[in-house]
Amino acid sequence: MGYTNTRQCLDALEAKGELVQIDKAIDANIEIGAIQRRVFQAGGPALLFTNVKGCRFPMAANIYGTKERMQFIFRDTIETVKRLMKLKLSPLDALKRPWQYLGAPRTAWHTIPRKKKWGPVLENETTISRLPQLISWPMDGGGYVTLPQVYSESPDAPGYAGSNLGMYRVQLSGNDFIPDKEIGLHYQIHRGIGHHHAQALENGEALKVNIFVGGAPAMTLAAVMPLPEGVAEIFFAGAMGGHRIPMVAREGGLPIPAESDFCICGTVSKGVEKPEGPFGDHLGYYSLTHDFPVLKVDKVFHRTGAIWPFTTVGRPPQEDTVFGDFIHEMTAELVPSVFSGVHEVHAVDAAGVHPLLLAVGSERYVPYAEERQPQELLTNAMALLGNTQTSLSKYVFISAREDMPAGLNCHNIPEFFRHMLERVDLKRDLHFMTRTTIDTLDYSGISLNQGSKLIFAAAGKRQRSLATEMPSGMDLPRGFRDPQIFAPGILVLKGPKHQKKRDYQDPALDRLAQSLAKAKGIEGFPMVVVADDANFTAMDWDNFLWVTFTRSDPATDMYGVGGFTHAKHWGAETAVIIDARLKTYHAPPLEADPDVEKRVDALGAPGGPLHGII
């Protein structure tokens, strides 16, 4: 039986020695988030803050901060849910190994929510301004809910089967929101609530929305689970929680989990949008201020003894990284059933998840050809860009499984890049989609939600040997310097400060390409990255991936040594150059407050509550 509420979960973690209680007065403005991030980076325990300045509610953080803690929280159900997922993949497996599926019928029963007339969540009412006002980064526009479970139902087909539970950004205060009456609801493209909102707009009615905080840990996991369209997350929550989720039916409103710590009830009306943000997001930059829907607040409920779970995000890895790894482990075997011909995928956390997707697929279209080239791989890549959350990927690097040596997979990033760069035909195997939708949080494109995508495919025999020695005769143009070999076949160098407008290429990079074409040995470096700080970018793979793929738009920021366009196809004779400088139109990267960091240091000093942890 899984945990039904936050307090049960925290008590179990405390009994296991995985919880530290902090009674010292802590400010929810910057300080508490800085503590959470430092403890997460140290691999530390869950945290319970009992004395939040100016707020009566305790706050809990880092509950899901380690893989081991996630496995402990869901220890009673994870294997059964994995088997249930596998059963969908291969129903005959249940006949071959029936003993492995003994819990499946019970798990299926748990998916059905249990109706209740009343629950602890309805014991008390409060207001938005009395809730914890978490501000994670110095430029954040106000207080935010960072572990919300945003619940909506299809106006055309109400009920649990047509419901959506997602983790969308919720701004409680700041900007132009009317205190206690309005809050901001930021949801990105390709999210289930968007379909419900569209139906409500078409019907000329307001969309009812409930925002749950706390309760069963399975509800939090379900809110971030990338389930196929048409599969209700609340069903998954019951399976993962090991019990039927008790839901209170509220007359005239949406149901509420009886065991939630908090619930904000409200409606989103047509034509009501207000500025939301800025907010320090999981790409490591600020999402800037843009107009998003406004939730008109109807009621705010909370249970007696309510606890406010939270996390903070920023440049990966953060606590949401653990969610991603946990979900990958659960769903890895399902990838071929969702994407025919695709064997594995890796949404790279260090690059902010959506900017870079690595994949392995089959290349079987022309098995009799003397020389194989990417064909089925392109079908595979287009499927990835057309379904589920992989559709938000910006760069897709996909390799043929048939060419990969035993033991290599796309989670071994250095070796996967080496394999790809050895085999890609730069004249043929780069496929762009321009003026298309990209992740809302990605500011590298030509406008909000709009930019380009690149399929970088490799199949067949090795095309080149990758160099590990600097090319000779490099006469770099003015402003370019500090060339460094980052990895075999990858050259990083510093470029001048970017000064162009959005949606325009920089002639300086064309001059660089012309200069590099004269260097002896440049053919051994099929990838050249231009950054603001070559030393930082080349320091390690995390820095390289973050800088290269969060700060570039494929169509705008890719240049070629020997670049050409033929019949609307772009390629490069020798090497691609990726302009990974911060652009004039990019959002600023996140930076910690030095004074706050000093206060956090004091908590880790001898006698402090975090001594020996940070």
Which residues does residue 285 pair with via DSSP β-bridges, in sequence order? 589
Token pair, residue 261, equals: 């710590």
Ordered domains of the chain (ranges, CATH) = 6-310 (no CATH), 319-458 (3.40.1670.10), 481-579 (no CATH)
Q: How far is it, in rounded angstroms, from Cα 265 to Cα 17?
A: 36
Cα dihedral 539, 541, 547, 553 sign: positive
Q: So what's the pLDDT on residue 97?
A: 54
Q: Read off the pTM.
A: 0.92
Asked if 144 contacts 134 with a C-beta cutoff of 8 angstroms, the reply is yes
The pLDDT > 70 percentage for the chain reads: 95
The least confident of 141-145, 238-242, 564-568 is 238-242
Indicate the average pLDDT of the chain: 93
Single-letter amino acid code for the residue at 73: I
**What order of strands is seen across the sheet that includes strand 558-566?**
481-487, 490-494, 527-531, 569-579, 558-566
Digit-coded pLDDT (tens) for 305-317:
999 999 999 999 9
Digit-coded pLDDT (tens) for 43-63:
999 999 999 999 999 999 999
Single-letter amino acid code for the residue at 196: H
User: DSSP 3-state assignment of 235?
Assistant: helix
Mean pLDDT of 343-350: 95
Digit-coded pLDDT (tens) for 162-212:
999 999 999 999 999 999 999 999 986 666 788 899 999 999 999 999 999
Asked if 613 contacts 607 with a C-beta cutoff of 8 angstroms, the reply is no
Q: Is the pLDDT of residue 337 over 80?
A: no
User: DSSP 3-state assignment of 293?
Assistant: strand
Q: So what's the pLDDT on residue 62?
A: 98
Which candidate, 224, 76, 227, 246, places its Cα nearest to that of 147?
Answer: 224
User: What residues contact 269, with CB distance under 8 A and at least 6 apart?
Assistant: 206, 294, 296
Asked if 381 contacts 341 with a C-beta cutoff of 8 angstroms, the reply is no
Q: So what's the pLDDT on residue 237?
A: 92
Mean pLDDT of 6-30: 97
Q: Is the pLDDT of residue 102 over 60?
A: no
- Polymer length of the chain: 614
Q: Which residue has the higher pLDDT, 235 or 181?
A: 181
Q: How far is it, in rounded angstroms, from Cα 156 to Cα 347?
A: 34
Which candidate, 226, 78, 212, places its Cα nearest to that of 148?
Answer: 212
Q: How far is it, in rounded angstroms, from Cα 383 to Cα 341?
A: 10
Q: Is the pLDDT of residue 99 over 60?
A: no
Mean pLDDT of 253-258: 97
Burial, 181: exposed, middle or buried (Cβ in 10 Å; 0-12, 13-18, 19+)?
middle
Mean pLDDT of 286-302: 96
Q: Is the pLDDT of residue 95 over 50?
A: no
Token pair, residue 22, equals: 């902090």
Q: How confident is the model at residue 546 (pLDDT cuts 50, 70, 90)?
A: very high
Q: Which residue has the higher pLDDT, 359 or 112?
A: 359
